[in-house]
Chain A
Amino acid sequence: MSAWPRLASVTRTLLGVALVASGAAAQDAAQDAAQAAAVEEVAAQFERGRYDLALNETRFIASPQLRAEWRFHVLYNAGNLPAALDEALAGLEVAPQSLDLARNAVLCALTLGLGRVAEDLLARWKAAIDSSSLDAAARESWLELHAEQSAFAAQVLARDEAASDAARRALWICVAGFGLAFGALLVLSRAPSDAPRAGEAPVA
C-alpha cells in the first residue's frame, strides 16, 4: 500500500472521528436536554402529588442511575419500601459508585429488618465512599453516616441472631421433651404388671 492512500485513509478516519465527535456531542446535548426535561417532568408530577405519573415519567430518564434514584424517591415517599429497595438495588447494579443509592438501599433494608442484605450493602457503600473523589469534609460526613447505619445494622443482625438461637433452643427443648415423654411411656408400658387379683373371675 502506498503512503497516499494510507494518508488518505488516516485523513478520512480523522475526519470521520471529528464528524462523529461533533455528531455525538450534539446527540449528547440533545440527550442531556431530553433527560433534563424528563427529570423536570418527574419532579413536577411528584410535587403535584401525582406519584403515579411521576413514576410513569421516570421511563423517559435515560440514565439508569438517575432513573433508579427517582424511582426510589417516589416509591420511598409512597411508603412502598420493598419496591423502593428493589429500585435502589437495581440502580446499584449499574452505578455501584452511587453513594446516594447505596445509602438509600441500606436505610430501606434496615427499616425492613433485612440485616444480612444491609450488611452486604454497607460493605458496598463503604467501598463506594473509599473510591470516591470526595473532599475530606464530605468524606468524613459520609463515613459518619455509614458508621451510624452500621451500628443500626449490628442491632438488626443481633436480633436475627437472637431469633435463630431461640429457634434452635425451642427445637432442642421439643426434641428432648418429646423424647423424655415417649421414653417414659415406653418404660412404663414395659414395666411388669401385677398378678391378677385373687378370687376374680376371668373376663370371658
Chain B
Amino acid sequence: MSEAGSRVLLLAVAALAGAATMTVELAAVRLLAPWFGSSAGVWTNVIGVILLALALGYLLGSRLAVRARPTRDLAWLLAAAAAWNAWLPALARPLCEVLLPRELTLDQSASLLLWGSLAATLVLFLPPAALLGTVAPLCTECYQRISRTHAGTAGGTVLCASTLGSLAGAFGTTHVFAPTLGLSWTFVAAALVLLGCSAIVGLLSQSRGGWLVAGALACATLPATLLSRLERSPAPPGVEVLAEAESRYQSIRVVEDRRWGEPQRLLQVNEGLDSFQSVWVAHKGLLGPGFYYDLFVLPAWWARAEGPWRVAVIGLGAGTAFRVLEGASPPAAELELSGLEIDERVVELGFEWFDLATERGTVLAGVDGRAGLRGLPGEFDLLVLDAYQNQVEIPAHLATLEAFSQMRARLAENGWIAVNVGGFGFDDPVVQAVATTLAAAFDGECVGYLTPRSRNIVLFARSGARPTAPDGDDYWFEGAVAKALLPSLSPEGCWRRFHGAAADAPLRDDRSPLERLQQRSLEGARERLAAAR
C-alpha cells in the first residue's frame, strides 16, 4: 500500500477509535441508568473512570510504541476493545444486579447509587477505554514511521483525527445511534467498527501473529451480535411490560400493574427502584392516597374557579396531571391545558398508552421547560412544575430564584404555582432549599403539603396573594374532592408554611447546589428516620 494510503487509513482508524471512545462514554451512563440513574454523580463517575482509563491506555500505548511492530499490537488491541465492547450489554445486568439488588427502595439504595455505579463503571468500562486509549500513541508512532515526519506533526495530526472522530461519536451516539439502534446495537455497532479498524491495521501490519490474535478476538466478538443484549430486570408477576423505548435522554418502559385491583399503567424511566414518572388508571380524576397529582386540582377549588382556568404543566410526562385535572376540577371551571415535556418519546407513549389528549390546549414536546414556557401563549391561572430528571432530581435550572420569577411573570393576577418536590419530610434539605427559594420569588411565602403515604411534597405559592393553608378561612370547601383531599392535608405536621426570608442563599442560576442537596437528602433519609426513634 502507498505511503499516503497508509497514512489515511491510520487517521481513519484514529478517528473511528475516537468515535468509539465517546460512544462508550456516553452510552455507559445510559447502560447503567436502569439501575443507578443518570445523575451528575453517575456522570462524574463515568467520566472520571474513562479519564483514568485513557491515561492508562496512553501510557501503555507509549510503551508498546517502541516495539518493532506497533501495527501488530494496534491490531490486536483494537480487536480486544471490540470484543469487550460487544459484550457490554450482556454483562451490564448481571453485574449491576450484584451491586444493586432488586426490590431495594430509594432510601435503602442511597449510597449504592454512587458507589455501585463507580464499581460497575470500573469493571465494565475501564478495560475497553484503556484499550482504546492505546490507539492514539500507537497510531502516532505508526504515522511517524510511515511518513518519517516529526513527532509533533504526527501527534498533532493523529490527535486532530481522533478528536474529530470523538466529536462525531458524541453527536452520533446521543442523537442517532442510541435512539434509533437502541443501546445494545449501539455497543455492538461500535464493536464492529473497531473490528473493522483492527482488520485495516492488520492489513497494514501484514503480520501473521497479529492476524491470529485479532482473528481469535473477532470470533469472540461476532457472537455478541446475536447474543449480547441489555436486559432490564424482568417485571414481577402481575406486571406486564407494554412498551419499551430508548429516547435521546433515557430508557423508558410502560408497564401495566394488575396486582392491586384496578389496573395501573406506569411510565418508568431509568428505574431500578420504586418510583415512576406517570401513571394511568381507567377513570379520570383523583388517583388516591400516595399520588401527588391529586393536589394539583386544589388551586381551582380554592379559587372557586368559574370560566376559563388556564393551566400549564412543566414536565408533563405522559399526561397524568391532565387526566387528574380533567376529572376532578370544579365543574364550572373550563380547563385549558398546556404541557411541556422535554422528551418526545415520552409524549408519544403518552398518546399511545396514557390517553393523553389535547382537545383544548397545547403540548410542546422536545423542549426544555424553562425555554419552552416562552413558547406558550397567554397567562396562566395555574403553573404546575413537575419536572424530574435522573429518577430523583429536579433539574437545577428549573428551581432557581430566576426560574420561579420567570414562571411568576407568566401567572395571571392571583395565579398559582404548584411545585412537586421529592423529599423526606419538611426538613429535608432539598425541600427546604426549593421551598424557601420559591417563597423568595413569591412575596416571601409558600405552603407545602405532605402527600399522604408518599415522599412527595407539593408546594403552593401565589402571585400577589397568600397561598391557602389549613389555618385560613378559604381552605375548606364542600364536595367529594374536599372530602378526599382536605382532611389528610390539614393536621399539624402535614403542612408547613415556608418563608422566603429563611432562605440564607436562595438557589440561583449562578449557584445552585441542588444536586449535592439531593444526594445529602438521600443519604440522610435513613439516618434521620432511625435517629428520630
Check A75/B116 contact, CB under 8 A, given A86-B532, A188-B59: no
Q: How extensive is the interface on chain B, given as a class?
A: 35 or more
A189 and B58 alpha carbons, distance in the complex (Å): 11
A161 to chain B, nearest CB (A): 10
Of chain B, the residue at the smallest CB distance from A75 is B491
Cβ of B107: which chain A residues have Cβ within 8 Å of it?
A: 113
Of the stretches B19-27, B48-56, B75-83, B252-260, the one at the interface is B48-56
- Binary interface profile of A, 72-89, with partner B (CB < 8 Å = 1, else 0)? 001101111111011001
Q: Judging by beta carbons under 8 Å apart, are A114 and B104 in contact?
A: no
Name the residue on A nearest B490 (C-beta): A52
Indicate which residue in A80, A89, A178, A189 contacts B452 across the interface (CB closer than 8 Å): A80
Task: Give the residue of A56, A85, A86, A113 whose beta carbon is less than 8 angstroms from that of B492.
Answer: A56
Does B99 lie within 8 Å of A166, measured CB to CB?
A: yes
B101 touches A166 (CB 8 A): yes
Contact A78 B119 (CB under 8 A): no
Tell me the minimal C-beta distance from A44 to chain B in angstroms: 13
A116 interface residue (CB < 8 Å to B): yes
Q: Does A162 contact B (CB under 8 A)?
A: yes
Question: Which residue in A85, A116, A181, A191 is a CB contact (below 8 Å) of B126?
Answer: A181
Q: Check: B4 CB closer than 8 A to any chain A CB.
A: no
- In angstroms, how far is the closest chain A Cβ from the Cβ of B158? 18
A36 interface contact, C-beta 8 A: no
Q: Which stretch of B332-340, B481-489, B504-512 is in the interface?
A: B481-489
Closest Cβ neighbor of A105 among chain B residues: B533
CA distance A49 to B108 in the complex (A): 34
Query: Which of A52, A89, A112, A160 is the one whose CB lies under 8 Å from B491?
Result: A52
Determine whether the beta carbon of B119 is less than 8 Å from that of A162: no
Stretch at the interface among A7-15, A133-141, A168-176: A168-176
* Residues of chain B in range 65-112 having any CB-CB distance to chain A below 8 Å: 66, 98-101, 103-105, 107-109, 111-112
Measured CB to CB, the closest approach of chain B to A109, in angstroms, equals 8
Q: Which residues of B contact A165 (CB under 8 A)?
A: 101
Is A185 an interface position by the 8 A CB rule? yes
Decide if B493 touches A83 in the complex (CB within 8 Å). Answer: yes
Chain B residues in 8 Å Cβ range of A178? 52, 122
A13 to chain B, nearest CB (A): 47
* Interface membership of A18, Cβ < 8 A: no
Complex contacts, A127 vs chain B, CB 8 Å:
none
Q: Which residues of A contact B99 (CB under 8 A)?
A: 166, 169-170, 173
Report the separation of the CA atoms of residues A160 and B103 in the bound assembly, to the nearest whole angstrom: 10
Minimum CB–CB distance from A91 to chain B (whole Å) comes to: 13
Chain B residues with CB under 8 Å of A159's CB are: 101, 103-105, 108
Is there a chain B Cβ closer than 8 Å to A39's Cβ?
A: no
With contacts A80-B452, A181-B53 taken as known, whether A52 is within 8 angstroms of B530 at the C-beta atoms is: no
Please measure, in the bound complex, the distance between the C-alpha atom of A173 and the C-alpha atom of B488, giving whole angstroms. Answer: 46
Within 491-505 of B, Cβ neighbours of A (below 8 Å) are at 491-494
B297 on the interface (CB 8 Å rule)?
Answer: no
| B453 proximity list for chain A (CB < 8 A) | 79, 81
A188-B60 CB under 8 A given contacts A80-B450, A163-B109: yes
- The verdict on A117 contacting B108 (CB below 8 Å), with A49-B487, A55-B492, A166-B101 known, is no
Q: Which residue of A lies closest to B484 (CB)?
A: A49
Q: Are B494 and A78 in contact (CB under 8 A)?
A: yes
A163 and B53 contact, Cβ closer than 8 Å, known pairs A56-B492, A79-B452: no
Nearest CB in chain A to that of B114: its residue: A170
Given contacts A52-B470, A80-B450, A173-B122, contact A167 B493 (CB under 8 A): no
Pick from B100, B483, B493, B530 the residue with the most CB of A within 10 Å: B493
Alpha-carbon gap, A166 to B118, bound state (A): 13
Residues of A within 8 A of B494 (CB): 51, 75, 78-80, 83
CA distance A184 to B131 in the complex (A): 13
> Which residues of A in the span 51-70 have a Cβ within 8 Å of any Cβ on B?
51-52, 54-56
On chain B, the residues within 8 Å of A163 by CB distance are: 101, 104, 108-109, 112
Nearest chain B CB to A80's CB is how many angstroms away? 5
With A50-B490, A75-B494, A170-B119 known, 9 other A-B pairs at CB within 8 A are A82-B425, A163-B104, A165-B101, A174-B119, A177-B126, A181-B53, A184-B56, A184-B60, A193-B66
Which residues of B come within 8 Å of A, CB atoms?
A: 52-53, 55-56, 59-60, 63, 66, 98-101, 103-105, 107-109, 111-112, 115-116, 118-119, 122-123, 126, 289-290, 425, 450-454, 470, 482-483, 486-494, 529-530, 532-533
A-B contact pairs, 11 of them (CB 8 A): A49-B486, A74-B491, A77-B487, A112-B529, A114-B533, A159-B101, A162-B101, A170-B115, A173-B123, A174-B119, A185-B59
Shortest beta-carbon contacts, A-B, top 6: A79-B452, A177-B122, A52-B490, A173-B119, A194-B66, A49-B487
